[in-house]
Amino acid sequence: MRTTLDLPEDLINEAMNATSVKTKTRVIIIALEELIRKSKISGIKQYKGKIDLDIDLDSIRDRQCRF
């Protein structure tokens, strides 16, 4: 989809340098993907401490307790 955007050139250049991305399109795609990822993580964090998982990690990972 083609869209015309008025973006600060220095901000785009800084993002391109920070990520070593060569094109403006790709750096914008990466920024949008990262924004979405962070938003999803924030949504998941609301469940911290609210879900009781009765899981024995040692048995899942097939480890023996040394103590």
In a domain, 2, yes or no: no
Position 24 in a domain: yes
Could you report the per-residue pLDDT of 26-48, keeping only the tens digit for each? 999 999 999 999 999 999 888 88
pLDDT above 90: residue 53: no
The count of domains in the chain is 1
Please tell me the number of Cα atoms within 13 Å of 24 on its side-chain side: 11
Residue 67 lies in a domain: no
Which residues constitute the domain of residue 32?
9-60
Residue at 46 is within a domain: yes
Q: Vertex 60, ends 58 and 48: CA angle to 5°?
A: 85
Tabulate helix, strand, coil % of the chain (nearest 5): 55, 0, 45
Over range 21-30, report the average pLDDT: 96
Region for residue 62 given its phi and psi (left: phi exceeds 0; alpha: psi -120 to 50; beta: otherwise): left
- Residue 52 is assigned to a structural domain of this protein: yes
